[in-house]
Structure 1
Amino acid sequence: MADIDVRKLADQLDAAQKILDEIRITSGCEAFGPPLPMNAARVERAVEAAQKALRDRQVRTDFVGNAEMFGEPAWDIMLDLFIRQAQDENVSIKAACMSPGAKSSTVLRWLNVLEMNDLVRCEADPSDSKRYLIRLTPAGYEGMLRYLETISA
């Protein structure tokens, strides 16, 4: 009897956690818990890890060839946006589409998917009404930062 109650309680807790995560994400709060303190060394290590990941992917393509077959456009976009955003660069949609290794149509499709998953957001450029900028959302940026810190440790 006690096993059944424990299983039921565990299922209820799992369901509650899923709801809590949805609330955090839709409200703009971090699903990772409170953000860690931001400091230059932390961001620099993560940027170096992202740059290394992009270089490694390019070397793989150089040796194996066929960037489309072994490509991961969504991941390349996330790495590139993270690096540029960490360096306070604005990235236009046009600039994002010029990334090596993927066709513009592929990049646009993946930007749409990333936006639907709340990892990136598209905003009008305040200095140019005809241009749109793409940025990682707070959750996307924090997720990339924590992942890159983990792999660089």
Structure 2
Amino acid sequence: MMTTTGLAAAYATTSRPVLLVADRGMAGEAEAAIAQAGCRLLQRIGWDMLPQRLGEPALRPLLMVEAAGVASDLLDAALARLEGYAAALDLPMVVSFAEAQIDQIAALMTQRDALLLCDPVPLERVLALAVAARPGDAFTLGDSLRENEGARLQRLNDEVARIAEILARLARSEAMPSHDAFDLADRHRGYDPGPATGDQRVDPQEVRRVIHLRRLRAKFFDAFGQGLFEDPAWDMLLDLYAAALEGRQVSVSSLCIAAAVAPTTALRWIAKMTDVGLLVRHPDPVDRRRAFMALSPQAAEAMRGYMLAARRVEGAAV
């Protein structure tokens, strides 16, 4: 059986140098993941030394950032510097952080292609490094500017298939439970309800009822395994639509909870749904360490049409 190191190294195909940003006490798991992913540690820089030492490496490394436990004020300035450095040199970036830092990281990280890992287990670090280190594949900077929507989705689906295969093999070899990778492919519709009329309104309680029924379904089928009905994209669309009808704002961390999957998985969904125009991000005008997510106007209208159509279909299973 191929080991975790062998699988990740085969995927990465190159011993890419990694610049690790981490304090000494937090570097152990990251350094182990770098070796297992078939990469090599070029240099470790502590957070307090980042301004003086960031430009030292002459190579174009992969940036691995361990942000858990870093003070908020220090993280603000350091992430801005790291993002500028990555953008200037077109470098891939992997950022690990604690769940309590979700809102701050999501607000500060403007690079759509950075891989965000929330409270990752060791194998998640390995997989992320292997993906980021592979030349020419997804998650390289600037892709969203060079590709049209259809090409990006196809490319995403191809990448997801590769990652899902690696995750499955890692799970079998290490007995690690994995969250299925996502697929944003179009779903076929078997029913055409017709256009919604402009004067019809959706009550937020209707949407909350749909959310409640989804949670109720999962509750009664938990005995068959957790995550059986995971559908983070739909859960987030429902939550954001209900919030819009109620006039509430939804933070990134709250949206991750609504997705009902691991935070790392939810953050990937948020990034990709933003890329394809379903979601929009609004910075908090009071606290720049927080951002709010909302449906795009097109997505809100699509949700309205869906809810009205479901209302008209008697006995529809939503």
Instruction: Give the TM-score of the pair, scaled to structure 1.
Output: 0.68
* CA shift in 2, pair 1:118/1:67, >3 Å: farther
Residue 62 (structure 1) aligns with:
219
In the alignment, the residues of structure 1 paired with residue 272 and residue 217 of structure 2 have an alpha-carbon distance, to the nearest angstrom, of: 25
* CA shift in 2, pair 1:100/1:109, >3 Å: closer
Residue 268 (structure 2) aligns with:
109
Over alpha carbons, which structure has the higher Rg? 2
Which of 257, 261, 264 lines up with 1:98 in the alignment? Answer: 257
Query: 1:36 aligned to 2:198?
Result: yes
* CA shift in 2, pair 1:136/1:43, >3 Å: same
Which of 228, 232, 235 lines up with 1:73 in the alignment? Answer: 232
The aligned runs of 1:4-153 (5 Å cut-off) are 36-37=198-199, 42-44=201-203, 47-65=204-222, 66-99=225-258, 101-153=260-312
Local SS of the residue matching 1:118: coil
Q: RMSD of the alignment, in Å?
A: 2.2
Q: CA deviation at 1:43?
A: 2.7
In the alignment, the residues of structure 2 paired with residue 67 and residue 109 of structure 1 have an alpha-carbon distance, to the nearest angstrom, of: 20
Of stretches 103-112 and 60-69 in structure 1, the one that deviates more from structure 2 is 60-69
Local SS of the residue matching 2:269: helix
State the aligned residue count. Answer: 116
Local SS of the residue matching 1:129: coil
Q: CA deviation at 1:100?
A: 6.4
Local SS of the residue matching 2:228: helix
Residue 3 (structure 1) aligns with:
none
Local SS of the residue matching 1:62: helix
Q: Is the 8 A contact 1:120 1:135 kept in 2?
A: yes
Instruction: Give the TM-score of the pair, scaled to structure 2.
Output: 0.34
Local SS of the residue matching 1:134: strand
In the alignment, the residues of structure 1 paired with residue 239 and residue 279 of structure 2 have an alpha-carbon distance, to the nearest angstrom, of: 12
Question: Could you say which structure has the higher helix fraction?
Answer: 1
Q: Is the 8 A contact 2:282 2:293 kept in 1?
A: yes
Q: CA deviation at 1:134?
A: 0.2
Q: CA deviation at 1:49?
A: 3.0
Deviating above 6 A after TM superposition, structure 1's stretches of 4 or more consecutive aligned residues are: none
Residue 15 (structure 1) aligns with:
none
* CA shift in 2, pair 1:100/1:122, >3 Å: closer
Q: Is the 8 A contact 1:119 1:139 kept in 2?
A: yes
Identity %: 26
Which of structures 1 and 2 has the larger relative contact order (alpha carbons within 8 angstroms, sep 6+)? 1
**Structure 2: runs of 5+ lacking an equivalent:** 1-194, 313-318
Q: Is the 8 A contact 1:73 1:110 kept in 2?
A: yes
In the alignment, the residues of structure 2 paired with residue 100 and residue 74 of structure 1 have an alpha-carbon distance, to the nearest angstrom, of: 7
In the alignment, the residues of structure 1 paired with residue 253 and residue 226 of structure 2 have an alpha-carbon distance, to the nearest angstrom, of: 20
Residues 41-84 of structure 1: per-residue CA shift (max 9 Å, x gap): 7131xx23322221111111111114422211100000001001
